[in-house]
Structure 1
Amino acid sequence: MFMMFAMTSDSVGEIIKEVKLEFGVSNTQASLMHSLFMIGIAFSGLFLGFLADKFGRKKTLILGLALFATSCYLFLFGSTFTFILSLISLSGLAVGVFKTAALALIGDISRSTKEHTGTMNGAEAFFGVGAIIGPILVAWLITQGIHWKWLYVIAGTLCTLLIVLALTVNYPQHHPQQKQPVRLMDSLTLLKDPYALAFSVGAFLYVAAESAIYVWMPSYLLCTPTTGEMGYSCYTDSLTQWFAIYSVSAFFVLRALGRFVGIWMMQRFDWTKVLVLFSFLIMLCFIAGLMAGPSLAVFLFPLTGIFMSVIYPTFNSKGISCFEKRQHGSVAGVILFFTAAGAAVGPFIMGVVSDAYGGEAKYGFIVATGFSILLFVGLLYNAIKQPTRSRLQIIEQQEYGTH
């Protein structure tokens, strides 16, 4: 499921190029393909995350998948840019619904908070695989003369199979001790909880830094045009030039591989120490890549994928694990809201700052480096003070029966 929607969400860069040609829209208009999808996820996460707690994981998950499949199939009938944007928005809403249900379900099937983190890394690893497959599939479709919309038809078909599978699986039954009905206001109240807010802000900072890599790194690595044509000709070494061309792919591959390794790591090491070490290495790569310029950044920026790999799944897992299972859908929605906000706001701010300084992407990366510094400082505080330790121990005993 995570792989399926990553195939569409992380292919948006390739699709935007085709949309600009097909509909004759500007860069700003085409960027709505990304922004509206993220806004849809953010809205759904915050205002619909409670559905998984109110109606159950299975019903909510199937509802979200059905909405996503419908939006995918409708791409075949779209002939205007406005219609395409409406489907993009609908698919974002659908992702928010089924992802919050899926994240809550991970808590139901886990036997401890540590196992929860390992399983979350596994799920996000498949998201990483989808992020690799999607752009390759779009490129292949285009070279074969097949319209890019068929990517969504393929995703819709996979989604339909997932619905059939979801209908046949027996879901674990969880009966909350508190019988009070779940409401939308319960989800919004979580915005005031310090644990939910802290992990949500962490997710925002992480995603803002991560999106800098796959959104703006190609622009930063481009050679300064001397002949009126941008490219990678300034990299005289063939290996460096190859890395510049495939830098985003290298980042996604390293991120996916790192998440599979994260399943093993999070079962054996203290998560707070792993995150503070990896966030420090991310910050170091950003700073060194800025100071040394594109010739070194071409290696350092993609390398951040291996260090970023475990951070977001662990934020998600530990943030959700700080609450009772009956609230997992709601808190997953709150974290998802900040995640989508980071993916939408981070690259936008970077673009505005870059434009303010003559359009050079390096100024946007100064902003991204600031995000990485704030992320490291927050995780360093977390590792030293251990503010979640007592809360996680209580939930461990209460929800998982572990002492």
Structure 2
Amino acid sequence: MHKLTLTRYDYGAFGCFIAYAGCSIIIPLALCQAARDLHFTLQEGGFAAGGALQIGRAMPMVLAMLGCGFAAGHWGMRRTLGWSVVLMGLGICFAALSPTYALLFLALMAVGLGEGVIEGLCTPFVEGLHKDEPGRYLNFSHSFWGIGIFATTLLGGWLLSQGVSWRWLVASVAILAVAPALLLLLPARKTAYPERSGRFSAAIICQQTWEILRCRHFWLFFAAMFVAGGGEFGLTFWSASFIQIEFAGTPLLGGIGTAGFAAGLFLGRSGSGILVSQRHLPHLIVFTGLLGVLVSLFFPLLHSPWVAAQQHTLPWLAIFSQKWLLFGLLFLAGITSAPFWPSIQSFACKRMPQLDSTMLFVLLSCAGIPGCACASWLMGVAGNHFGLRLSFLIVPVCYLIMSTLIGSDWYRSRREEARTDRRDC
């Protein structure tokens, strides 16, 4: 394998992922404080309202992703991506000023518009820079999502513990959008971004979209992206609240736990980007998915009354009440969750080369984002009825479904390759 070669626009994409991650995690991190301020206390049945904020963010994200192909075709991918970062930063500022839950919901919808374009275009933006081995670069660039989560949760959790208002904290995240906006929008001095030649008409984009939607193979990857996104973001969204409510932890401990998950995401994505070749992506997805099922099954046992009742006969069960085990599991869950999103998209492009890769990336992201929203909301609803701890069972279910789907397609691809080899002989 060759050494990774990075350009100015790679760094702009890295900044997009960092800013996108910061804007997406800051509300979950400060959710307990915001809920008290805006009067939807989580412990008094507000888990579903908290999870619904992610639905409010996801709806405009999907609309933006569906429209970003038209925008990129008209104005170019670089400019469209750059202005979407600006919109996201402005939206998170308005979220910090929201005096009611309803206005916070609307502000997050504005944030979602910018995030939707970033989600839809940032992956094909990087893929356009590196046509030879895109899977490595995609995994590496997506690892900066983990850096954004790590830095925001660690610093944000500490500031909340020091008594800093959640509003100031949310507003400060907008600063993360400045650097990528400048890298993407300022004129290039040397090498310009390799935009596609010509401009896409609406008819061409609609034709490409229709070709993808009528391909039955696409819907397998659509379903895999839906559950993969749901499992990963369900952990991201509820980790800080889980620590503060179930373990009576401080906001700093909530930030440390989520930062541990983000550190695992960074190591898993950067490591797989550097070490795993394109042809081994399905192996990576299936094996890490099954490990993710195993790791996430331990979360409902943490601080469990059933486990506590068994400790007099099995003293070693006391480890399930220890915070260090929770933090270790979150770190391992981050590593196992890391490759799913970028690797599924890259593997889908390899399996369906006849389809337009940009629109395929966009439409697969349109599956992952609703998956994030649905899992976050379902975990909130389950938290209202059964407790937040048991709601974490949704995560291994998501990962098991994803592993089954990708594993079945991997098996199918190997059979196709074997038939081709026999014909060649």
Give me the TM-score of the superposition, normalised by structure 2. Answer: 0.75
Match of 1:370 in 2: 397
Tell me the distance in 2 between the aligned counterparts of 1:79 and 1:288: 38
Q: 2:149 aligns with which of 131, 154, 162?
A: 131
Q: 2:122 aligns with which of 102, 112, 116?
A: 102
Q: Does the 8 A contact of 1:4 with 1:155 survive in 2?
A: yes
Q: Secondary structure at the match of 1:149?
A: helix
Q: Secondary structure at the match of 1:173?
A: coil
- CA drift at 1:91: 0.8
Q: Residue type matched to 1:122 in 2? A: F
Q: Does the 8 A contact of 1:41 with 1:340 survive in 2?
A: yes
Q: Residue type matched to 1:43 in 2? A: L
Say if 1:304 and 1:389 are closer, same or farther in 2 by CA, change over 3 A: farther
Cα deviation digits, residues 87-109 of structure 1 (max 9, x gap): 21011111111332222211211
Q: Residue type matched to 1:88 in 2? A: L
Aligned residues: 373
1:197 aligns with 2:224: no
User: Structure 1: where are the runs of 5+ without partners?
Assistant: 225-229, 233-241, 394-403
- CA drift at 1:83: 2.9
Q: Does the 8 A contact of 2:157 with 2:253 survive in 1?
A: no
Give runs of aligned pairs for residues 183-332 of structure 1, distance below 5 A.
183-184=205-206, 186-187=208-209, 190-216=212-238, 231=248, 246-267=256-277, 270-287=280-297, 295=319, 298=326, 299-300=328-329, 302-320=331-349, 327-332=356-361
Q: Does the 8 A contact of 1:204 with 1:338 survive in 2?
A: yes
Return 247-256 or 78-87, whichever deviates more. Answer: 78-87
Give me the TM-score of the superposition, normalised by structure 1. Answer: 0.78
- CA drift at 1:129: 0.5
Tell me the distance in 2 between the aligned counterparts of 1:244 and 1:68: 25
Percent identity among equivalent residues? 16
Match of 1:401 in 2: none
Tell me the distance in 1 between the aligned counterparts of 2:272 and 2:255: 28
Cα deviation digits, residues 372-397 of structure 1 (max 9, x gap): 2212212221332227988xx9xxxx
Q: Does the 8 A contact of 1:124 with 1:313 survive in 2?
A: yes
Match of 2:179 in 1: 161
Q: Does the 8 A contact of 2:64 with 2:113 survive in 1?
A: yes
- CA drift at 1:13: 1.9
Tell me the distance in 2 between the aligned counterparts of 1:158 and 1:231: 30
Q: Does the 8 A contact of 2:25 with 2:237 survive in 1?
A: no
Cα deviation digits, residues 332-377 of structure 1 (max 9, x gap): 2211221111111113233434545x43632x34433222221221
Q: Residue type matched to 1:361 in 2? A: R
Tell me the distance in 2 between the aligned counterparts of 1:46 and 1:187: 9
Tell me the distance in 2 between the aligned counterparts of 1:301 and 1:355: 23
- CA drift at 1:132: 0.9
Q: Does the 8 A contact of 1:283 with 1:376 survive in 2?
A: no
Tell me the distance in 2 between the aligned counterparts of 1:45 and 1:92: 10
Tell me the distance in 1 between the aligned counterparts of 2:89 and 2:255: 33
Q: Does the 8 A contact of 1:53 with 1:326 survive in 2?
A: no
Q: Residue type matched to 1:132 in 2? A: F
Tell me the distance in 2 between the aligned counterparts of 1:51 and 1:324: 23
Q: 1:148 aligns with which of 159, 166, 176?
A: 166
Q: Secondary structure at the match of 1:340?
A: helix
Tell me the distance in 2 between the aligned counterparts of 1:244 and 1:16: 11
Tell me the distance in 2 between the aligned counterparts of 1:33 and 1:87: 10
Match of 1:19 in 2: 34
Tell me how large the CA RMSD over aligned residues is.
3.6
Q: 2:412 aligns with which of 362, 381, 385?
A: 385
- CA drift at 1:284: 2.4
Q: Secondary structure at the match of 2:277?
A: helix
Tell me the distance in 1 between the aligned counterparts of 2:167 and 2:21: 15
Return 126-135 or 282-291, whichever deviates more. Answer: 282-291
Tell me the distance in 1 between the aligned counterparts of 2:340 and 2:157: 29
Match of 1:70 in 2: 90
Q: Secondary structure at the match of 2:62?
A: helix
Q: Does the 8 A contact of 1:176 with 1:326 survive in 2?
A: no
Cα deviation digits, residues 293-341 of structure 1 (max 9, x gap): 8645734454122122112111122334556799444222211221111
Tell me the distance in 2 between the aligned counterparts of 1:388 and 1:117: 23
Q: Does the 8 A contact of 1:205 with 1:372 survive in 2?
A: yes
Say if 1:328 and 1:176 are closer, same or farther in 2 by CA, change over 3 A: farther
Say if 1:2 and 1:23 are closer, same or farther in 2 by CA, change over 3 A: same
Q: Residue type matched to 1:385 in 2? A: R
Tell me the distance in 1 between the aligned counterparts of 2:221 and 2:92: 32
Tell me the distance in 2 between the aligned counterparts of 1:36 and 1:389: 42
Say if 1:347 and 1:82 are closer, same or farther in 2 by CA, change over 3 A: closer
Cα deviation digits, residues 165-189 of structure 1 (max 9, x gap): 2122311132379988534564365
Say if 1:283 and 1:32 are closer, same or farther in 2 by CA, change over 3 A: closer
Q: Secondary structure at the match of 1:182?
A: helix
Say if 1:43 and 1:322 are closer, same or farther in 2 by CA, change over 3 A: farther
Q: Does the 8 A contact of 1:48 with 1:184 survive in 2?
A: no
- CA drift at 1:126: 0.5
Match of 1:343 in 2: 372
Q: 1:359 aligns with which of 375, 384, 387?
A: 387
Tell me the distance in 2 between the aligned counterparts of 1:10 and 1:334: 23
Tell me the distance in 1 between the aligned counterparts of 2:248 and 2:302: 19
Q: Residue type matched to 1:11 in 2? A: I
User: Structure 2: where are the runs of 5+ without partners?
Assistant: 1-15, 305-318, 421-425
Say if 1:290 and 1:359 are closer, same or farther in 2 by CA, change over 3 A: closer
